[in-house]
Amino acid sequence: MCVSTGPADFSGTTLYVGRHRHPERGLVHVLGYQNTAVNRADGPNAMLLHLPATAMTRDNFLDVGRDTDVLERMVRAVRPRSRGAGGAAVMDWMGAEESVQVFEHDVYTVLLATDPTALPSALERVPARKRPALDPALMRFYAERYPGYAMAVCCFDNAEAARAKPLLLWYRPLDADVLTAPALDAHTGRPPGMVGKVPVDHWVLFGSDEAPRVWGAPVSYNLDLRHRLRAFLPTRVVGAHFSGLLPNGDFAVHHDDLLSSGMTHVRRVPQMSS
């Protein structure tokens, strides 16, 4: 479950989306994303994430440090009852193309933009060993179907793909009441096919710091989990493992429905409404 800029295999995918009131950032959504990537392209490759977010920068990407199992711990919390990076380092290349931010995060070189069609012109700022090809048709697909979304292109080379830590980032959502997990699937570098169904095999988890005490399952983190990271993580989660064939798209749920019914009202959303 992922969109890539070239042929690739992705397995063991875990997606987390939570709504939190951060003591400094206010009401935010938090996305956690992890998988195992096998690059089938002849050269570098990249994962694409579309985010219903406003005004994102490199500061929205969180450093998980040694706590590389935070998403695994969420899955372990819900598994019995469910059936169904180094931090961002500034590059000196900023300024030449302000519409696209380029920075290092864990093993990735990340391109971040609100206009996907601006991303190809920024590729020269990515190190050659990680520089993928970006199909203009793929960028137009996102621009047309997800207007106003932030786009993150996480570039990696063959040697580094297996060493990636989970991605964890926060953002101010376009709609605070709807939690959306980006789950489009296309592994060819071309735009995702939106007709028919695609195979899925992954965990999807949700959390909220407004949930009742008896809601969901408690998550057990490392006792020495850093305070800065803990402030963005849930104490309880709900989740389910999705497998088989589903329409291509994202997973979404209204916050009120999530609190009242857990995963019952999670739906597959094929695309943004235009």
The better pLDDT of the pair 42, 62 is held by 62
pLDDT band at residue 85, thresholds of 50, 70 and 90?
very low
Range scoring the smallest mean pLDDT among 18-32, 152-166, 205-219, 232-246: 152-166
Give residue 99's identity as a one-letter amino acid code: S
Pairing verdict, β 108-113 and 26-39:
unpaired
Pairing verdict, β 250-254 and 267-269:
antiparallel
Detail the DSSP E strand segments found in 57-149.
100-105, 108-113
Q: Which domains does the chain have, with CATH numbers?
A: 3-269 (2.60.250)
The tens digit of pLDDT for each residue in 99-124 reads: 899 999 998 999 999 999 999 999 99
Closest by CA position to 156, among listed 46, 41, 28 = 46
The tens digit of pLDDT for each residue in 218-243 reads: 999 998 888 899 999 999 999 999 98
Asked whether 249 and 146 are in contact (CB, 8 A), the reply is no
* pLDDT the model gives residue 137: 94
Counting residues of the chain whose pLDDT is more than 70, the rounded percentage is 89
The better pLDDT of the pair 93, 75 is held by 75
- Answer yes or no: is pLDDT of 1 > 70: no
* pLDDT the model gives residue 12: 79
For 224, residues 6+ apart whose C-beta sits below 8 A from its C-beta are: none
pLDDT band at residue 90, thresholds of 50, 70 and 90?
very low
Q: Tokens for 90?
A: 């500034």
Mean residue pLDDT across the chain: 88
* pLDDT the model gives residue 160: 65
The better pLDDT of the pair 62, 83 is held by 62
- Answer yes or no: is pLDDT of 86 > 70: no
Asked whether 258 and 17 are in contact (CB, 8 A), the reply is no
* pLDDT the model gives residue 81: 54
User: Residue 138 has what DSSP assignment?
Assistant: H
* pLDDT the model gives residue 39: 76
Q: What is the pTM of this model?
A: 0.89
* pLDDT the model gives residue 159: 65
Closest by CA position to 170, among listed 7, 59, 45 = 59
* pLDDT the model gives residue 80: 64
Counting residues of the chain whose pLDDT is more than 90, the rounded percentage is 66
What's the Cα-to-Cα distance from 230 to each of 49, 62, 139, rounded to whole Å?
23, 11, 34
What average pLDDT does this structure show over 208-216? 95
Residue 142 has phi, psi (to 5 degrees) of: -70, -40
- Answer yes or no: is pLDDT of 96 > 70: no
